[in-house]
């Protein structure tokens, strides 16, 4: 790979990361606030208490601001697929096409149709039909997320497809294997539960601000009660889905797991790092201690990864250089197999031109046999298969620590509100308020773990990112990077300003 | 209900619709048209040509 190719790949990745991160600032509230609104409206319909209607309408206004400013920001990612990632886009076109088409036809139309009904139908529809619209907005937006996450999960665990050497496309052979792969299900559940937590923190935090200002106190208490219960349940659920996700990663992406834990040398009965500071001078092959300091929970990583406290968890060194005792192949073998696979594709192409059916069939059989390591062909040295360990490790551990902090905040805010003591707990109200940005941070870090952790792959084991880019000038990608930076910063600033104004105005009497 | 809803938009509602239209205009009529062509559609006429190009790229190490 030349310096120019490396710069193009880096800028293309930076641009994709920038747009995905900004897009994800808007998505969590759409996914989670919609359910909180649906719950508060259900209480209104059940009790007939107008206070709950006022409360629902207020959160619905903030939902509307977020939705309006965030809507279609994800389409920019699709623009980038066609321009910056054209090779990747061609290869995965059939896989992405189906889930995204389902998303467009069902989920998006369901969501967008009922959003209008939800906003305009308050005094024109029956209470129950309006409530149904609100629930359908919640389910529709989450259903949209499902299909997009199915596509993302496939890149991490390509299943239900077969590579066609005539078209150079991965073609779907089982829609359900793609849609219901354990990777997709865990990713979806883990991602939406993180969005629910962000939304619950948002509602608890904004309500805490009212409490601190001694404004709209009854409204704020009701909101805290609903959001903190929603937050506790989401936090407990995210522990389960996080465990499911980590289990899948251990089976299918052991390098990502090793990076998440800073595990260089695998062993039986591996502990989980509860806290650690990485040794910055550590190299993959040396024998230096990977940590300057650490607190480890014995055997927990083995238990969580393989449901066996004494199981062997491979480290980075094992995955790069191999470990004969535990049957782990060195990456060099995979590189060799990848090269055989690429040669088979070449032979298939030449045999097709020559009209030699027998040679085509032989080449095709070899391609199919070795295709699972196809992407390794493009690496010059084995260390290239290691992601950025520092970034993945700290992102993972900060995310987990924040997740547990949020659970404690939700329990405390619920308890003190329930006991009518929340007004006197100014410190807790301040912590809850300042947890709003922390919620976004934790959620973004989750994506950093998922996406940086799977580097260098665009499609796991099949296509490295540097083979997925288009032939563009670095300057062109830099230009659009800064255009997006300006556009999204304006949108985000507009959202924050409008939200703050609406929050300061408070719920309408 | 839809027509009535749009007729009686609040100031906030109008502001949000203005933001949505400006954003969509920038995205589809400036960014997409001038900065984000579909490279393979632009450079090749048929799907066969596109496939051949990708295979060439995959074979090239």
At A452-483, the pLDDT tens digits run 999 999 999 999 999 998 888 889 899 989 98
Burial of A390-416, coded b for 16+ CB within 10 Å and e otherwise, reads: ebbbbbbbbbbebbeebbebbebbbeb
Measured between CA atoms, the residue of chain A closest to residue B8 is A120
Q: How confident is the model at residue A51 (pLDDT cuts 50, 70, 90)?
A: very high
Rounded Cα distance between A257 and A316, Å, is 9
Q: How confident is the model at residue A318 (pLDDT cuts 50, 70, 90)?
A: very high
Q: What is the mean pLDDT of chain A?
A: 93
Residues of chain A positioned with their CB less than 8 A from the CB of B57: 87, 467
- Give A508 or A417, the one with higher predicted confidence: A417
- Read off the pLDDT of each residue in A172-177 and give the average, rounded to a whole number: 91
Chain A contact for B36 (CB, 8 A cutoff):
yes
Chain A contact for B44 (CB, 8 A cutoff):
no
Pick from B5, B12, B38: CB nearest A120:
B5
Q: How many domains does chain B have?
A: 1
**A99-108, A400-409, A487-496: range with lowest mean pLDDT:** A99-108
Rounded Cα distance between A107 and A260, Å, is 33
Q: Between chains, do A61 and B12 touch, taking CB under 8 Å as contact?
A: yes
Rounded Cα distance between A483 and A81, Å, is 17
Q: How confident is the model at residue A406 (pLDDT cuts 50, 70, 90)?
A: very high
Chain A contact for B3 (CB, 8 A cutoff):
no
Q: Between chains, do B61 and A90 touch, taking CB under 8 Å as contact?
A: no
How confident is the model at residue A98, as a pLDDT? 72
Q: Between chains, do A120 and B2 touch, taking CB under 8 Å as contact?
A: yes
Chain A contact for B59 (CB, 8 A cutoff):
yes
Each domain of chain A, given as residue ranges in start order, spans 3-258+390-504
- Dump the DSSP string for A435-454: HHHHHHHHHHHHHHHHHHTT
Q: Between chains, do B4 and A377 touch, taking CB under 8 Å as contact?
A: no
Q: Would you state the structure tokens that stand for residue A207, as one six-digit string?
A: 């309500």
Which residues neighbour A74 within 8 Å (Cβ) at sequence distance 6 or greater?
A23, A27, A148
Number of cross-chain residue pairs from A and B with Cβ atoms under 8 Å apart: 106
Cα torsion through A217, A219, A222, A225, rounded to 10: -60
pLDDT over 70 (residue A1)? no
Measured between CA atoms, the residue of chain B closest to residue A166 is B51
Per the document, the length of chain B is 61
Measured between CA atoms, the residue of chain A closest to residue B26 is A487
Interface test with B, best of A74, A78, A83 (most B CBs within 10 A): A83
Question: Hey, is A278 helix, strand or coil?
Answer: strand
Note the pLDDT tens digit of each residue in A243-302.
999 999 999 999 999 999 999 999 999 999 999 999 999 999 898 999 999 999 999 999
* Residue A106 DSSP one-character state: I
Residues of chain A positioned with their CB less than 8 A from the CB of B26: 487
Chain A contact for B50 (CB, 8 A cutoff):
yes
| Residue A23 buriedness (CB in 10 A; 0-12 / 13-18 / 19+) | middle
Residues of chain A positioned with their CB less than 8 A from the CB of B23: 69, 72, 487, 491
Which residues neighbour A454 within 8 Å (Cβ) at sequence distance 6 or greater?
A155, A156, A253, A256, A387, A460
Pick from A83, A342, A377: CB nearest B36:
A83
> B24 to chain A nearest CA, in Å?
8
For chain A, percent of residues with pLDDT exceeding 90: 82
Q: Which residues pair with A291 in a beta bridge?
A: A278
At CB < 8 A and 24+ separation, what contacts does A492-496 make? A492/A22, A492/A25, A492/A69, A494/A69, A494/B19, A495/A26, A495/A65, A495/A66, A495/A69, A495/A70
Residues of chain A positioned with their CB less than 8 A from the CB of B13: 64, 119
- The closest of A424, A391, A431 to A409, measured between CA atoms, is A431
Which residues neighbour A407 within 8 Å (Cβ) at sequence distance 6 or greater?
A231, A232, A235, A236
CA angle A195, A196, A199 (to 5 degrees): 90
Question: Hey, is A313 helix, strand or coil?
Answer: strand
Element (H, E) at A421: none
Rounded Cα distance between A334 and A377, Å, is 8
- Read off the pLDDT of each residue in A155-183 and give the average, rounded to a whole number: 92
Pick from A61, A90, A339: CB nearest B54:
A90
Interface test with A, best of B7, B23, B56 (most A CBs within 10 A): B23
**A96-110, A270-284, A351-365: range with lowest mean pLDDT:** A96-110
The beta strand positions in A298-377, using DSSP E, are: 312-313
Interface test with B, best of A58, A75, A79 (most B CBs within 10 A): A79
Chain A contact for B34 (CB, 8 A cutoff):
no
Q: How confident is the model at residue A74 (pLDDT cuts 50, 70, 90)?
A: confident
Q: Which residues pair with A73 in a beta bridge?
A: none
Rounded Cα distance between A338 and A332, Å, is 10
Interface test with B, best of A12, A90, A96 (most B CBs within 10 A): A90
Residue pair A464/A456 in contact by the 8 Å Cβ criterion: yes
pLDDT over 80 (residue A100)? no
pLDDT over 70 (residue A182)? yes
Rounded Cα distance between A16 and A10, Å, is 10
Chain A contact for B57 (CB, 8 A cutoff):
yes
Pick from A90, A119, A487: CB nearest B26:
A487
Range(s) of the domain holding residue B8: 2-59
Pick from A72, A165, A470: CB nearest B23:
A72
Pick from B20, B35, B38: CB nearest A483:
B35
How confident is the model at residue A2, as a pLDDT? 64
Pick from B12, B19, B40: CB nearest A90:
B40
> B7 to chain A nearest CA, in Å?
10
Q: Would you state the structure tokens that stand for residue A102, as one six-digit string?
A: 């389902």
Residue pair A94/A172 in contact by the 8 Å Cβ criterion: yes
CA angle A97, A103, A104 (to 5 degrees): 85
Residue appearing with tokens 């929050």: A503
Residue pair A116/A500 in contact by the 8 Å Cβ criterion: no
- The closest of A216, A74, A83, A69 to A147, measured between CA atoms, is A74
Rounded Cα distance between A154 and A150, Å, is 6
pTM of the model: 0.93
Q: How far apart are the first and last CA of chain A?
A: 64
Residue appearing with tokens 């934790």: A442
Q: Between chains, do B39 and A377 touch, taking CB under 8 Å as contact?
A: no
pLDDT over 70 (residue A4)? no
Pick from A71, A87, A378: CB nearest B61:
A378
Q: Between chains, do B12 and A65 touch, taking CB under 8 Å as contact?
A: yes
For chain A, percent of residues with pLDDT exceeding 70: 98
> B57 to chain A nearest CA, in Å?
8
Residues of chain B with pLDDT under 50: none
């Amino acid at each position: 790979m030349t310096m120019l190719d490396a710069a193009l790949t880096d800028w293309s990745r930076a641009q994709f990361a920038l747009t995905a991160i900004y897009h994800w600032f808007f998505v969590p509230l759409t996914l989670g606030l919609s359910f909180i609104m649906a719950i508060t409206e259900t209480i209104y319909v059940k009790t007939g208490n107008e206070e709950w209607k006022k409360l629902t309408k207020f959160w619905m206004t903030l939902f509307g601001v977020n939705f309006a400013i965030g809507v279609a920001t994800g389409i920019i990612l699709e623009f980038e697929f066609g321009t910056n990632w054209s090779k990747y886009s061609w290869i995965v076109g059939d896989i992405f096409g189906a889930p995204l088409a389902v998303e467009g036809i069902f989920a998006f139309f369901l969501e967008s149709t009922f959003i209008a009904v939800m906003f305009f139908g308050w005094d024109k529809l029956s209470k129950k039909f309006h409530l149904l619209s609100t629930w359908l907005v919640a389910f529709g937006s989450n259903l949209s997320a499902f299909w997009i996450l199915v596509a993302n999960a496939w890149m991490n665990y390509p299943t239900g497809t077969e590579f066609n050497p005539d078209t150079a496309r991965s073609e779907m052979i089982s829609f359900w294997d793609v849609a219901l792969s354990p990777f997709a299900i865990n990713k979806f559940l883990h991602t939406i539960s993180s969005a629910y937590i962000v939304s619950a923190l948002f509602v608890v935090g904004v309500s805490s601000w009212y409490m601190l200002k001694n404004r709209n106190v009854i409204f704020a208490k009701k909101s805290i009660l609903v959001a903190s219960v929603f937050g506790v349940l989401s936090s407990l659920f995210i522990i389960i889905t996080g465990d499911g996700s980590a289990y899948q990663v251990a089976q299918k992406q052991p390098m990502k797991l090793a990076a998440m834990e800073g595990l260089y040398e695998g062993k039986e009965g591996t502990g989980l790092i509860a806290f650690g500071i990485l040794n910055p001078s550590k190299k993959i092959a040396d024998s230096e201690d990977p940590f300057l300091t650490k607190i480890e929970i014995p055997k927990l990583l083995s238990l969580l990864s393989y449901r066996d406290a004494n199981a062997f968890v491979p480290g980075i060194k094992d995955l790069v250089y191999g470990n004969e005792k535990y049957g782990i192949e060195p990456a060099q073998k995979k590189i060799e197999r990848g090269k055989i696979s690429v040669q088979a594709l070449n032979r298939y192409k030449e045999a097709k031109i020559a009209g030699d059916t027998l040679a085509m069939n032989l080449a095709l059989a070899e391609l199919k046999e070795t295709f699972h390591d196809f992407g390794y062909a493009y690496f010059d040295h084995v260390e290239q298969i290691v992601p950025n360990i520092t970034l993945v490790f700290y992102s993972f551990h900060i995310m987990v620590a924040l997740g547990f902090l949020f659970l404690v905040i939700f329990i405390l805010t619920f308890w003190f509100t329930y006991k009518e003591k929340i007004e006197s707990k100014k410190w807790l109200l301040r912590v809850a308020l300042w947890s709003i940005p922390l919620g976004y941070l934790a959620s973004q870090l989750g994506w950093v773990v998922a996406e940086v952790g799977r580097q260098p792959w665009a499609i796991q084991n099949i296509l490295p990112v540097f083979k997925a880019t288009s032939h563009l000038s670095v300057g062109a990608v830099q230009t659009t990077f800064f255009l997006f930076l300006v556009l999204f910063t304006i949108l985000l600033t507009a959202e924050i300003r409008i939200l703050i104004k609406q929050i300061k105005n408070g719920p309408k009497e | 209900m839809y027509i009535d809803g749009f007729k009686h938009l609040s100031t906030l509602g109008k502001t949000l619709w203005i933001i949505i239209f400006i954003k969509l205009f920038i995205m589809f009529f400036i960014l997409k048209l001038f900065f984000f062509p579909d490279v393979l559609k632009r450079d090749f006429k048929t799907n066969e040509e596109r496939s051949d190009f990708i295979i060439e790229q995959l074979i090239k190490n």
